[in-house]
């Protein structure tokens, strides 16, 4: 076999592997499986990465798939260009609405559970850690994406804003549930009723996000966090995330029962055995996510 023939076969194998991937980009959303990290990039910089139905559907499909994918151990969500996410593109959604027949009463409450509300709920419950990187504006649902992540790392000069009352309607995508739990009810009222804007430093100090760093340190801070999560004990991390979310609204006895259940599962994992071996041998564990 010649070298040229070997190269062609190798290229065909790579192409077949790519075709077999469960992940694919959609218009406005770049989806890339990078080893054991699923990277999702909102890619509409000309509109400050405002979401539309196609992007939301793409995010939901990718995150849901990652929750069942044995290879994925961390998800990273970013925005292309100067901003993370400028909210939902309501202008585009309502374009031409004057000519179209009015929808039946209740159309919004029927639609949202399968769209932006479903996305936030999925981020909160999927047993894969999610890291969000924020630069520029995080507005409306963009703010909620940051709130729903397991770790949000932002530029000190980023801007977080809930613009709903300024637009004359009420908040959605979990804002009224997430904000009181992250920043407290008093501060949540400042954000939702008065439309107060936070920069990255204030968002960190208020507990809305996890870390704020200078712009030139942002990529490294994200990479460092992803590296820890993507090499961690994936089963234990996922179950811990589940416990934290479920514990938001349940009594102690029910939470203790689920802690026992989670310990039963995690202690049967290969990573648990590796953790014990590493402790005995006085070395760092080499977790495989199994």
Instruction: Check whether residue 71 and residue 87 sit in a common domain.
Output: yes
Instruction: Check whether residue 96 and residue 162 sit in a common domain.
Output: yes
Beta bridge partners of 153: 133, 211
Q: Could you give the percent of the chain with pLDDT greater than 90? A: 71
Instruction: Check whether residue 148 and residue 206 sit in a common domain.
Output: yes
pTM across the whole model: 0.86
Instruction: Check whether residue 41 and residue 178 sit in a common domain.
Output: yes
287 occurs within a structural domain: no
Beta bridge partners of 74: 37
Instruction: Check whether residue 171 and residue 274 sit in a common domain.
Output: no
Q: Could you give the percent of the chain with pLDDT greater than 70? A: 84
Report whether pLDDT(11) > 50.
no
Instruction: Check whether residue 171 and residue 37 sit in a common domain.
Output: yes
270 occurs within a structural domain: yes
289 occurs within a structural domain: no
Instruction: Check whether residue 20 and residue 42 sit in a common domain.
Output: yes
**Structural domain harbouring 196:** 3-230
Report whether pLDDT(285) > 60.
yes
pLDDT at 10: 45
Contact residues for 43 (Cβ-Cβ < 8 A; gap 6+): 28, 29, 30, 49, 80
Instruction: Check whether residue 190 and residue 225 sit in a common domain.
Output: yes
The number of distinct structural domains making up the chain is 2
Question: Closest Cα partner for 148 from 172, 184, 124?
Answer: 124
Instruction: Check whether residue 219 and residue 273 sit in a common domain.
Output: no
Report whether pLDDT(211) > 70.
yes
């Amino acid at each position: 076999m010649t070298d040229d023939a070997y190269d062609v076969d190798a290229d065909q194998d790579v192409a077949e592997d790519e075709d077999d991937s469960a992940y694919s980009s959609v218009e406005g959303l770049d989806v890339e499986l990078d080893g054991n990290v699923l990277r999702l990039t909102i890619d509409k910089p000309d509109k400050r990465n405002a979401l539309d139905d196609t992007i939301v559907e793409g995010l939901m499909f990718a995150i849901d798939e990652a929750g069942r994918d044995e290879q994925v151990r961390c998800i990273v969500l970013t925005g292309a260009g100067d901003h993370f996410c400028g909210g939902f593109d309501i202008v585009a959604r309502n374009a031409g609405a004057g000519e179209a027949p009015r929808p039946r009463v209740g159309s919004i409450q029927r639609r949202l559970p399968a769209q932006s509300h479903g996305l936030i709920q999925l981020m909160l419950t999927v047993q894969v850690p999610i890291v969000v990187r924020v630069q520029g504006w995080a507005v409306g649902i963009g703010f909620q994406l940051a709130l729903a992540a397991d770790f949000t790392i932002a530029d000190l000069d980023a801007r977080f804003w809930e613009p709903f009352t300024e637009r004359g309607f009420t908040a959605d995508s979990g804002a009224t549930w997430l904000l009181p739990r992250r920043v407290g009810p008093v501060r949540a009222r400042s954000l939702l009723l008065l439309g107060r804007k936070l920069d990255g430093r204030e968002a960190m100090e208020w507990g809305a996000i996890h870390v704020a760093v200078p712009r030139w340190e942002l990529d490294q801070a994200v990479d460092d966090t992803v590296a820890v999560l993507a090499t961690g004990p994936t089963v234990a991390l996922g179950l811990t995330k589940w416990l934290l979310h479920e514990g938001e609204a349940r009594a102690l006895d029910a939470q203790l029962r689920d802690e026992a259940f989670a310990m039963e599962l995690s202690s049967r994992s290969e990573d648990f055995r590796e953790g014990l071996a590493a402790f005995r041998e006085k070395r760092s564990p080499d977790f495989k996510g199994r």
